[in-house]
Chains A and B, each alone.
Chain A
Amino acid sequence: MVESATTRILLRLGALATLVFLYAPLAVIALYAFNAQVTQGWPIQDWSTKWFRVAYEDEAVRSALWLSVKAALGATIVAMVLGMLLSLAVSRYRFFGRETVSFLVVLPIALPGIITGLSLQTTFQNVGIAFGLLTIIVGHATFCIVVVYNNALARLRRMSGSFEEASADLGADSWQTFRHVTFPELRTPLLAGALLAFALSFDEVIVTLFTSGAQQTLPIWIFANLQRPRELPVVNVVALFVLLASIVPVYLAQKLSRGAATGVPGGEK
């Protein structure tokens, strides 16, 4: 449809307004990163870059950042393996419970995080599992599976089974078929899903507050320090840093996903 000129202008304005809405608070965060004072008043009276120094020297920030990276990597790997296996099963076979399984895999991300978090925490305590990196990864991986699963499933559905049949006809066993026919096609959606899963895990706090014990991932560190009046500015600096640092991976992810179905968006779950 050729949208009329008026429509196009209106749409352009609407898009612009939405973008302004999305970025105004981020601009506020960036401004507060340069606020000299500890209390967040408005308008900002004194400017300073001293908090960048403080953040850089803060050991707790570094270990929190590192823990977040480790947890996100672990969760992403688990989600990739499980998501891929599940998508292969669901796309290529009919079996009793198939509907249930595809419903089941969405549950962890569709049910509010507080429920997931509370369930996991209670269970870990009852069973006697110590809280730490492992429990964090378990929590994150569980709701990341669906992200990878959806991406892979979309690609598998678009890719008819005839290639695999042809491969089998030509004498390849199932492993060879998977390795040489199916997997290459899955690489892009898996990678796109993995990047999404990483983003989900990295910023996650709702469930992590329940599963991390005394450990601090970056969001947990942020949560703890937002409540400490003297640490507020450092948090803004850290947030700004993460935001800027993520421009490149997000751009890469977007280039990768071009063509593949847009997967489930990431965020606080």
Chain B
Amino acid sequence: MSKALKRALTGVALSGVLVFLAFAAAGCGGGGGGGSSAEDISGLGSSVDDIESKARDEGQVNLVIWSGYADPAWAKPFTQQTGCKVNTKDGASSDDMIDLLSSGQYDGVSASGNASVRLMARGDVAPINTDYIPNFADVQEGIKNQSYNSLDGKPYGVPHGRGPNLLMFRTDSVPENTDSWSVIWDKSGPYNGKLSIYDDSIFIADAAVYLKATQPDLKIDDPYELDDKQFSAAVDLLKKQAPQVSDYWPGDVAKQVQAFTNKDAVVGTTWPYQVNLLDAAKVPVKAVKPKEGTTGWSDTWMIYSKAQHPNCMYLWMNYIISPEAQAKVAESFGEAPVNPKACALTTDKQFCTKYHAEDESWWQDVYYWTTPTADCGDDRGEVCKTQEDWKAAWTEIRG
């Protein structure tokens, strides 16, 4: 090595080490905000009227949302009514949403179960004071006080809606009467290279759902609580599937819509939102909840514990569960509303029936997204795979 190069190396190394040590010594702070309660959200008004007037001063609310949850069709009337402009950021996955929220830049999030539980544990979200959210009383009782939207008996947000992850396929490539997930697992041969799969570790649960039906000796009960044997089986199934996937879509719905439009994908897993979009574009697709059951999501609007615009956020939370907004959201996205009063306002009067809004039996085999934990929740003890394990496995599955 030339002398100059040696000096250069030493120089960079030295400065690097110095700064490195400085930071290590300083003990840089970690992530995650401290836990606080609703009473602690600074700046929140003390009555509904107070909140409304404070919101006018705030002027905006910044939301992390699932694509399609805050379209102008209902966001604009909200702004007109309250003076709060709605700024949104689409989350690619629950993990992504947690990241975004912890950056401190957003006031609220439409969290699915696998995000909400973690957010509550991390103290990133605050419990809500239902006195300030009049429409909360109208929400279906069956959705309130669930493990994914409440902690220690306190509600942590307003439910948004729930929906299943569906099997979608192009009717010109896949038989119309398809009703089983097998077309993306063991019987995916004909569709090799044309699969469209959700790009997130939570999809491991979908493999578990399929194994629950097809390999009962694995004794899978809760697809999110998998021990070693069950987990390995699911991962193997996914590894076999990976080479056949043409489109891993990470919350980027446009990507999946385009793939199906151009026939680069003909079968896969999707949200009802994409089905609506493809129908509107006259692409011949059909979506079903297969006989094995499916994963799904029940989403909750939660407020960031250090929200900069808490009043606008409260008004949004109240607005989004109002019958008018719920009707629009549910029809646009294709999910079941949580406020039964919305059913009278949907343009399709059969909407609530079609989407099983009040048919609890239909949701029996829809396993809402939730965060895997070591505690299996049954007599197996603490041997189940953790969120960290799932995350690491997903990288390996993708290859």
* Residue interface bits B74-101, CB-to-A below 8 A is 1, else 0: 0000000000000101100000000000
* Residue interface bits A3-35, CB-to-B below 8 A is 1, else 0: 000000000000000000000000000000000
Q: With a CB–CB cut-off of 8 A, which chain B residues contact A267?
A: none
By the criterion CB–CB under 8 Å, are B103 and A131 in contact?
A: yes
Any A CB within 8 A of the CB of B262: yes
* Residue interface bits B1-39, CB-to-A below 8 A is 1, else 0: 000110110111001000000000000111100000000
- Give the interface residue-count category, chain B: 20 to 34
Query: What total count of A-B pairs have CB within 8 Å?
Result: 77
**Which of A77-85, A170-178, A221-229, A236-244 has 4 or more CB atoms under 8 Å from chain B?**
A221-229
Point out residues on B near A: beta carbons under 8 Å: 4-5, 7-8, 10-12, 15, 28-31, 62, 67, 87, 89-90, 102-106, 251-255, 257-258, 261-262, 277, 281, 283
- In Å, the complex CA distance between A83 and B87 comes to 37
Interface residues of A in 78-120 (CB under 8 A from B): 96-97, 99-101, 103-104
Known contacts A126-B29, A227-B252: A40-B258 contact under CB 8 Å: yes
- In Å, the complex CA distance between A103 and B6 comes to 12
Q: With a CB–CB cut-off of 8 A, which chain A residues contact B255?
A: 227
Any B CB within 8 A of the CB of A37: yes
By the criterion CB–CB under 8 Å, are B261 and A39 in contact?
A: yes
By the criterion CB–CB under 8 Å, are A224 and B90 in contact?
A: yes
Residue of A nearest to B62 (CB): A214
By the criterion CB–CB under 8 Å, are A99 and B277 in contact?
A: no
- Give the interface residue-count category, chain A: 20 to 34
- In Å, the complex CA distance between A229 and B281 comes to 11
Task: With both chains docked as a complex, state the minimum distance between the C-beta of A122 and any C-beta of chain B, in angstroms.
Answer: 8
Q: With a CB–CB cut-off of 8 A, which chain B residues contact A227?
A: 67, 90, 251-255
By the criterion CB–CB under 8 Å, are A226 and B103 in contact?
A: no
Q: With a CB–CB cut-off of 8 A, which chain B residues contact A42?
A: 262
- In Å, the complex CA distance between A224 and B30 comes to 28
Interface residues of A in 21-64 (CB under 8 A from B): 37-42
- In Å, the complex CA distance between A38 and B258 comes to 10
- In Å, the complex CA distance between A128 and B102 comes to 12
Q: Apart from A99-B11, A228-B90, what 11 extra A-B contacts exist at CB < 8 Å?
A: A97-B11, A99-B5, A100-B8, A104-B12, A125-B102, A127-B28, A130-B105, A213-B103, A213-B104, A214-B103, A227-B67
By the criterion CB–CB under 8 Å, are B89 and A214 in contact?
A: yes
By the criterion CB–CB under 8 Å, are B103 and A103 in contact?
A: no
* Residue interface bits A209-221, CB-to-B below 8 A is 1, else 0: 0000110000000
Any B CB within 8 A of the CB of A232: yes
- In Å, the complex CA distance between A143 and B231 comes to 44
Q: With a CB–CB cut-off of 8 A, which chain A residues contact B253?
A: 227-229
By the criterion CB–CB under 8 Å, are A100 and B103 in contact?
A: no
By the criterion CB–CB under 8 Å, are B254 and A103 in contact?
A: no
- In Å, the complex CA distance between A31 and B104 comes to 40
Can you report 29 A-B residue pairs in the complex whose CB atoms are below 8 A from each other?
Answer: A38-B281, A39-B257, A39-B258, A39-B283, A41-B261, A99-B5, A99-B7, A100-B8, A100-B10, A100-B11, A100-B15, A104-B12, A104-B15, A123-B28, A125-B31, A125-B103, A126-B28, A126-B30, A130-B104, A131-B104, A213-B104, A214-B89, A214-B105, A227-B67, A227-B252, A228-B67, A228-B90, A229-B257, A229-B277
